[in-house]
Structure 1
Amino acid sequence: MQKIRLTKPFVNRSSRLFIPVYCLTFFFTGIYFSTKSGKIMVEINKKKRAFYEAYSIGLGKLGLKLGLTPNILTAISFICAVISGIYFWKGEIWWGIIWMILNSFTDMLDGSTARAGNLGTVFGGILDHVSDRYGEFLILAGITMSKLVHPGWGLFALFGMIIASYTRAAAESIGKMDNCAVGIMGRLEKFLVLIIGAMLQRYFPGYRPLEIALIIVGTTSYITSVQRLVYAKKVLKDKKSV
């Protein structure tokens, strides 16, 4: 497939003012609504999760019939992320997209297989979460190191994804919360934005849609982190540290 190489940065004179204003407006709008909608976010995420589990259980049964285990699927998902990151790094957009979609599909399949066969374990859950974070990092690293985007925006998105993930982990481990998976930008939403941006990049490289997708992912990830902090504060407001 044809390689696409771009070296001109997205940040030019006309966009130096627009981008900070956009990011700050989006950020503080997210903070405002996060202080108003903690319970709403939890209910939305519960409904999304219930819908996802109901419609993915069939795939889990198929995985069992094929002799696949959740941990094997987690390993396959990680390998797909590695390959996707390599292809993005090389500038081969379509192959990067294909392996990114396979990464998302196998990640969905490992959880549905665990539920279908009642094979879920605590270690399996930890392995899945760690593998997901590594996969996200590798795909973003591949995009960042390519010449498809300005590396600064790749780091912007990468740090946002790391901070959002760590905020949830801290709330659930240190705060002993049952679930802090709230916020406007989950893993699926981030990947969808990146996939759409990568697809558009192939046909409209002059508009740098993949770079715009990174800005959206980064900004919404920081908003998600703040939303999780606000939600954790509400839940834990009367809880004393040990």
Structure 2
Amino acid sequence: MTLDRFRSVADRALGPFVGAAKTVGLSPNGVSVLAFLLAGAAGGVYAVASQDPLLYLAGAVFVFLNGWLDLVDGALAREMNVASDAGDLLDHVLDRYADIVIIVGLAAGLGRWALGIAAVTGVLMTSYLGTQAQAVGLDRVYGGLLGRADRLALVGIVTGIAAFANPTALNVTLVGWLLVVFAVVGHVTALQRFYYSMQALE
């Protein structure tokens, strides 16, 4: 399961948003920074969502906007013919920090720090193995059970639901189970990418 394989489909819907970014004078790097700020806003509201569950809905909106702008920045760079290694590096660094602040915010809101650590390491290892394959001469790996697009979609959907109902099973809330998925499936995805890369290098 990975939504990353549908990037080409999403790219075809980006035209109006790329045009809007150009109209207001945003650079690709500016879009990347804006996407990160939205992730920071999501993490912030998730951290205090226990006080008002409707804040989960606001966080879901911020997460979806972060994911969409993460597509827009690359499309804008290609449209403006300014794609560069520096821009790619900035985008990936901000994406990783975005992942961290979103998951830390979710864990803080639940007070589940050990679960948060397990989830964030799973997410970071997934991303690391995806780009490390490129570092050893392979194509960048997007495959596996859970890519970034999948994670953002899950966060948005689950927290959107949690704004209205956050049931508990085995003393873990719906949002808590989301962190469990990231902790378990994230590491499985990282191992899948590692296996694929090792097979390709043999």
**TM-score in terms of structure 2 length:** 0.86
State the Cα distance separating 1:66 from its structure 2 match.
2.5
Of 182, 189, 208, the match for 2:150:
189
State the Cα distance separating 1:88 from its structure 2 match.
0.8
Q: Within the alignment, does 1:108 sit opposite 2:71 as a pair? A: yes
Of 90, 107, 121, the match for 1:127:
90
Where structure 2 has 5 or more consecutive residues not aligned to the other structure, the ranges are 50-54
Q: CA RMSD in A?
A: 2.1
Number of residue pairs matched?
193
Distance in structure 2 (CA, Å) of the matches to 1:114 and 1:58: 14
Query: Following TM superposition, where does structure 1 have runs of at least 4 consecutive aligned residues deviating by more than 3 angstroms?
Result: none
Q: Within the alignment, does 1:76 sit opposite 2:39 as a pair? A: no
Q: Within the alignment, does 1:142 sit opposite 2:105 as a pair? A: yes
Q: Within the alignment, does 1:214 sit opposite 2:176 as a pair? A: no
Distance in structure 1 (CA, Å) of the matches to 2:22 and 2:140: 28
State the Cα distance separating 1:204 from its structure 2 match.
2.1
Distance in structure 2 (CA, Å) of the matches to 1:83 and 1:199: 15
Of 16, 20, 31, the match for 1:62:
20
2:190 aligned partner: 225
Contact kept, 8 Å, 1:193 with 1:217, in 2: the verdict is no
Q: Within the alignment, does 1:202 sit opposite 2:202 as a pair? A: no
Distance in structure 2 (CA, Å) of the matches to 1:190 and 1:211: 14
Contact kept, 8 Å, 1:171 with 1:177, in 2: the verdict is yes
Compare CA radii of gyration and give the structure with the larger one: 1
**TM-score in terms of structure 1 length:** 0.73
Counterparts of 1:18-29 in structure 2 under 5 Å?
Answer: none
Where structure 1 has 5 or more consecutive residues not aligned to the other structure, the ranges are 1-29, 31-40, 238-242
Distance in structure 1 (CA, Å) of the matches to 2:30 and 2:201: 37
Distance in structure 1 (CA, Å) of the matches to 2:58 and 2:142: 30
The C-alpha deviation readout for 1:78-120, integer Å capped at 9, x for no partner, is 1111111111111132222222222222222111211222221
Q: Which amino acid aligns with 2:145?
A: I
* Identical counterparts, % of pairs: 23
Tell me the SS of whatever aligns to 1:203.
coil
Contact kept, 8 Å, 1:60 with 1:115, in 2: the verdict is no
